[in-house]
Amino acid sequence: MKWPLLDVPSSATVKDTRSPSPAHLSNKVPVVQHPHHMHPLTPLITYSNDHFSPGSPPTHLSPDIDPKTGIPRPPHPSELSPYYPLSPGAVGQIPTPLGWLVPQQGQPMYSLPPGGFRHPYPALAMNASMSSLVSSRFSPHMVAPAHPGLPTSGIPHPAIVSPIVKQEPAPPSLISGSLDCEKSPVTVKKEEEKKPHVKKPLNAFMLYMKEMRAKVVAECTLKESAAINQILGRKWHNLSREEQAKYYELARKERQLHSQLYPTWSARDNYGKKKKRKREKQLSQTQSQQQVQEAEGALASKSKKPCVQYLPPEKPCDSPASSHGSMLDSPATPSAALASPAAPAATHSEQAQPLSLTTKPETRAQLALHSAAFLSAKAAASSSGQMGSQPPLLSRPLPLGSMPTALLASPPSFPTTLHAHQALPVLQAQPLSLVTKSAH
């Protein structure tokens, strides 16, 4: 019962061939914005099975070492993941513009500071073994940035954010480790500031957002990301299992690649680098919520309003995700809707009731209830099995008691955990499971 390897290159084919997306007009990180003609995931699509199979590391992960420079020789550019390009050294030798920096080649996974990333990233010049020689404890990016032998034209890894970028300085003890233990706090801080920030690899949903955001924005009057994200969240839930699987697989590969490029990197490294989120907000409605609700109202009234295209039950939108009919009514996957346990039934609830796009606990409870109702029906309908292609999402540690056992198994590439704070398809709709969301 192995989750079938997705033929990413073929299945992911150019979804985003349409409208130029406003996203590339962003002034936030213009450098990294992908061109509208480029499928945002195109870079990832280079992960063809030929180049990247789960069983074996991508060929570019074991680059030859240039005998002259000792720098890993880059593979053919086409083999490079623009998201996780090779070492800067290798990068610097790439004859063609780098994927993650060059719009024509693809969208970078990670944003760069407006000023660009000037200094080379020596750590990336090391492969895993090299880095281990330098430090078996610290991430490659923890290594002193200066490397005389490296070309200054080194291009930063997209996962790396210039240390200049604000980021609340984490406790030196946390970051610097023993290497800096003998240095003065000032020195430590300085070096810390030089340290590139390796970002977390994007998860499936983030990848999906990256791809779909531009479209949603293009077709909606809403511009606020918070509102867009809510819509995207719903769309995500409405994706068929196949569609989601695509992103889970991509995310899995991203993590794999990330872990190979940054063997010592840990998510912990980034802890505390962002301002702590406000705990108790949600008391007042945000404007985005109001906007979304307006959109919802428009949807309910079927008037031409923001995002109507994205929310209709039968014909969600003309987005690629649904263009092949897999989103809501994929005939091949009767249980496809189960791929989104938290999703209210696209075909049932969306029109029946306004989107529950507010963070109000009570409203979330409603959402859960709706989801529960939908799931109950769906679960009953899908109790016949079809495990081979069952979405993994139901395998989360929830009130599984009432779930069909057949739904509990999950493909390896799917998430196996479900947080209580997430919108839950709680069949028994326990308010308790929703309360914790307020802490998010």
Partner DNA sequence: CGACCTTTGAAGTAT
Partner DNA sequence: ATACTTCAAAGGTCG
CB of 70 to DNA, least distance (A): 30
Nearer to DNA, 122 or 233 (CB): 233
In the complex, what is the shortest distance from the CB of residue 368 to DNA, in angstroms, rounded to a whole number?
11
By beta-carbon proximity to DNA, the closer residue of 93 and 322 is 322
Q: Which is nearer to DNA, 173 or 287 (CB)?
A: 287
Q: How far apart are CA 256 and CA 329, in angstroms?
A: 32
Amino acid of residue 247: Y
**CB of residue 104 vs DNA: minimum separation in angstroms?**
17
Q: Dihedral (C-alpha) 170, 420, 208, 329: value to the nearest 10 degrees?
A: 180
User: Residue 11 half-sphere exposure, CB side, CA atoms within 13 Å?
Assistant: 19
Structure tokens that stand for 410 in this block: 């999950």
123 in helix, strand or coil?
A: helix
Decide if 328 contacts 314 (C-beta within 8 A).
Answer: yes
Q: Which is nearer to DNA, 92 or 233 (CB)?
A: 233
d(CA 129, CA 227): 44
Shortest distance, position 244 Cβ to DNA, whole Å? 7
The secondary structure of the chain in percent helix, strand, coil, rounded to multiples of 5, reads 40, 0, 55
- Comparing CB distances to DNA, the nearer of 93 and 254 is 254
Using the Cα atoms of residue 392, residue 393, residue 396 and residue 398 in order, give the sign of their dihedral.
negative
Distance CA 50, CA 361 (A): 47
Which C-beta is closer to DNA: that of 71 or that of 292? 292
Give the Å distances, CA to CA, from 430 to 45, 251, 341, 364. Answer: 40, 31, 15, 11
DSSP 8-state code for residue 198: E
Give the shortest CB-86-to-DNA separation in angstroms.
Answer: 19
For the CB of residue 428, give the shortest distance to DNA in the complex, in Å.
14
Go through 20-39 and write b for each residue having 16 or more CB atoms within 10 A of its CB, e for each that does not. ebebbeeeeeebbbbbbebb
Min dist. Cβ of residue 294 to DNA (A): 12
Considering the complex, what minimum distance in angstroms separates the CB of residue 173 from DNA? 12
Q: Measured from the CB atom, is 150 or 423 closer to DNA?
A: 423
Do residues 324 and 315 lie in contact, with contact meaning Cβ atoms separated by under 8 Å? Answer: no
> Residue 209 or 307: which CB sits closer to DNA?
209
Q: What tokens were used for 44?
A: 């990832």
CB of 133 to DNA, least distance (A): 22
Distances (CA, A) of 259 to 56, 61, 77, 95, 127: 14, 11, 20, 26, 12
User: Shortest Cβ distance from residue 287 to DNA (Å)?
Assistant: 5
> Shortest Cβ distance from residue 277 to DNA (Å)?
5
Write down the least CB distance from residue 380 to DNA, Å: 22
Nearer to DNA, 58 or 158 (CB): 158
Looking at beta carbons only, is 303 or 417 nearer to DNA?
417
Q: Which two tokens stand for residue 143?
A: 């290594």
Residues 159/110, Cβ–Cβ less than 8 Å? yes
Nearer Cβ to DNA, position 35 or 63?
A: 35
Q: How far apart are CA 373 and CA 368, in angstroms?
A: 8
- In terms of C-beta distances under 8 Å and separation of at least 24 residues, what long-range contacts does 60-68 make, across chains too? 60/86, 61/257, 61/260, 61/261, 62/127, 63/87, 63/90, 63/127, 65/127, 66/93
- First-to-final CA distance of the chain: 35
Closest to DNA by CB, 94 or 161: 161
